[in-house]
Amino acid sequence: MSSAAVQEVWPGSPEPLGATFTAGSDSAAGTNFALWAGGAEAVELCLFDDDDDDDGPHAGETRHPLKELTHGIWHGFLPGVLPGRHYGYRVHGRWDPWTGARWNPAKLLLDPYARAVDGEFRLPPEVYGHVRDWPQQHIADTVRDERDSAPFVPKGVVVADDDDWSDDRRPRTPWPDTVVYELHVRGFTMRHPGVPERLRGTYAGLAHPATVEHLLRLGVTAVELLPVHQFAHEDHLLRRGLRNYWGYNSVGYFAPHASYAAYGTRGQQVGEFKQMVRALHAAGIEVILDVVYNHTAESGELGPMLSLRGIDNRRYYRLQADPRRYADYTGCGNTLHVVQPQALRMITDSLRYWVTEMGVDGFRFDLAAALARTADGVDMLAPFLSVVAQDPVLRRVKLIAEPWDVGPGGYRTGAFPPLWAEWNDRYRDAVRDFWRSALPDVRDLGYRLSGSSDLFGWGGRRPCASVNFVTAHDGFTLRDLVSYDRKHNEANGEGNRDGRDDNRSWNCGAEGETDDEAVLTLRRRQARNLLATLLLSTGVPMLVAGDEMGRTQGGNNNAYCQDNETGWVDWSPPADTGHGSLTDLCARLLALRRAHPALRSRAFFTGRPRGADGVRDLAWFTPGGTEMTEADWYASATTLGMYLSGLDLPDDRHGTPRTHDSLLAVLHAGPRPIRFTLPGPPWAESYALLVNTALEDQSAAPRVRRPAGGRVIVRGRSVQVWRAQTPAS
């Protein structure tokens, strides 16, 4: 221990948790430290000198026992501890893995409420609470390791929370108008030629005007950031010379990931993140965080001791009947015990912090079913969901569930309560199958295109409960979806065993890269079809960064450890794709979506007439121009016509019904051209062609008008969108 004089520790306060810089009593500047460790016997606060060079097991470390204990919270105020100071905790208690007790004061623990983290997580044997290399591995987790971990783990950083958000204007985009763009903070800008090299891969890089300009050009309304909570790399990746790229391995739920900061990691990352949010808000773009509250980087009983395991293992993690073992509903070794009050408080405190102090507008919850688990399984009345529903801060932001986990009964698409939107994997699968001609009929596609009322039409939920997607970070990119029949994950070092085998993809006649122009032409058209289908569907569309530019991962459908050109967005035009035309098509379709309220329905369609002429809000047509019968829905088909009425749609904040354009979308997945009869009166008097995915360049397309009842040629595997001309329009 350092020979520096031990500072006086004042009683301080149990609230708030974490390290809170304050003027203190008697106007003495300092920091209040508060840590919940309800089952511990003692807690030491460990401070590290600013010039700490980790030269020795206790380099620059001073330990301060926290004597005050209030409702399980150990606390104390230290005068003179200023922002930028490194700290951690050592927590004393019993070592009894057979009952789930794993306290080990030899291990320096990260404060779960740390607002910033400095340093990289390394995983040498010293970082494990047990003797990792014990010869008998089946009992290794029961043998306590007495070596000090402090030289090998990052430290928390004291941060001053003094920002004024009064100049920030949240976009508050209504759900029906929302278009989500999923991106990786690092990967999105690492190869962007318009972003200065020193800012690439950082929060500042994402806030750069060149980056924001691309988002505005597309017309997206929200970015969904892959995890930005402080995370650690898994041991099996480090051993193979790889790193966790996606970040689904959280260890600090209040701290922005330090390696994404351009201007420093001694608390500067907090300010840089806030400036990024402000810049995106100024452009009218919301910020949604992909958050991982279902598990942590500490893994199972053979994992490292980084934070929660050493603070109170039994109350933070779900344990099995044998308390040595962890309940694993996540596939990552452990599951947070969200039913326990302190674990639940940590999660909700974290969520509120990111909204109120960091300015974010919503969250996408990874494996959200794990957060709804009680002792009886997944329960939509679980404490977490109930707390969020009544929380005055959280119930007002966007909440998106990945509605499943890997445990029994964990698949719950369509089951989450009102307030929640959900990733709709049923949409993904139906659209992929339609365009590869694998659907037996078009019933499922009809539901998916019109908002999935069969899944979400209950309890007052609306079409915006369905977050529609064709691709996501997890799986093939759009280009790879039409270029590969099989995954090619060899670079991950797991023998190509990782990643999904059921991708519902089609390589269009050749596996991977090819010089066959016919195959490349078909691939480009299929990409346009998938993109058009997504942006014409009712619900909330989610795009994936780079798909609009033909990004490829070389067939890797699980690039979680590819922090390199495989995982990064390539901003240079691919040689074999219509780079500019695909980007332009995406922007054109999003502009079409903004201009036509029929594509952004706020309520589920009824199929009933809206006017005296019998025009329904939604109608379906066969290639012959007749309305589909029940028999048509059950028959094998590759073509579907969808008519969306623009009559009497609410247009303003008063809800006044107004008449807008009606639209007809024709989706044809068959390989050969067909003749499609445009529906006659009362549906329309004539039609004007707006989009035709058979064309590479939409801007060069001739203006086409056809009379109602006329027949048009629809090229094989293409989408046409027509504006219906009616007397009212």
Segments making up each domain of the chain, as ranges: 18-158, 178-304+336-595, 604-725
Say what the pLDDT of residue 579 is.
59
Question: Looking at 124-138, 571-585, 628-642, 704-718, which range is the least confident one?
Answer: 571-585
For the record, the structure tokens of 700 come out as: 């060069």
Say what the pLDDT of residue 167 is.
85
Each residue's pLDDT tens digit, 503-537: 999 999 999 999 999 999 999 999 999 999 999 99
Burial 143-178 (b: 16+ CB within 10 A, else e): ebbeebbbbbbbbbbbbbbeeeeeeeeebebebbeb
Each residue's pLDDT tens digit, 280-330: 999 999 999 999 999 999 999 999 999 999 999 999 999 999 999 999 999
Q: Is 402 a catalytic residue?
A: yes
Residue 281 to residue 363: CA distance in whole angstroms: 16
Residue 481 to residue 314: CA distance in whole angstroms: 43
CATH architecture, domain defined by 604-725 = Sandwich (2.60)
Residue 122 banded pLDDT, cuts 50, 70, 90: confident
- Identify whether the C-beta of residue 551 lies closer than 8 Å to the C-beta of residue 557: no
- Identify whether the C-beta of residue 355 lies closer than 8 Å to the C-beta of residue 290: no
Tell me if 18-158 shares its fold with 604-725: yes
Residue 652 banded pLDDT, cuts 50, 70, 90: low
Coil/strand/helix, residue 590: helix
Q: What percent of the chain has pLDDT over 70?
A: 95
For the record, the structure tokens of 389 come out as: 């529903």
Q: pTM value? A: 0.96
Backbone angles phi, psi at 95, to 5 degrees: -105, 100
Say what the pLDDT of residue 2 is.
40
Residue 125 to residue 133: CA distance in whole angstroms: 7
CA atoms within 13 A on the CB side of 26: 8
Task: Assess whether pLDDT exceeds 90 at residue 23.
Answer: no
What mean pLDDT is reported for the chain? Answer: 94
Question: Which DSSP string do the residues of 222-255 spell out, in sequence order?
Answer: EEEES--EEE---HHHHHTT----S---EEEEEE
Beta carbons within 8 Å of 565's beta carbon, 6+ residues apart: 191
Task: Assess whether pLDDT exceeds 50 at residue 331.
Answer: yes
Task: Note the residue count of the chain.
Answer: 729
Residue 261 to residue 268: CA distance in whole angstroms: 8
**409: Cα separation from own chain's centroid:** 22
Say what the pLDDT of residue 576 is.
58
In CATH, what class is 18-158? mainly beta
Q: What percent of the chain has pLDDT over 90?
A: 89
- Identify whether the C-beta of residue 328 lies closer than 8 Å to the C-beta of residue 335: yes
Each residue's pLDDT tens digit, 444-492: 999 999 999 999 999 999 999 999 999 999 999 999 999 999 999 999 9
Residue 56 banded pLDDT, cuts 50, 70, 90: very low
Beta carbons within 8 Å of 419's beta carbon, 6+ residues apart: 388, 389, 395, 399
- Single out the residue of 538, 429, 404, 427 nearest to residue 481, CA to CA: 429
β-bridge partners, 156: 87, 117
Question: Looking at 183-197, 263-277, 554-568, 653-667, which range is the least confident one?
Answer: 653-667
Given the residues 52, 366, 444, 632, the one annotated as active site = 366
- Identify whether the C-beta of residue 445 lies closer than 8 Å to the C-beta of residue 530: no
Report the topology of domain 178-304+336-595. TIM Barrel (3.20.20)
Given the residues 61, 224, 328, 402, the one annotated as active site = 402
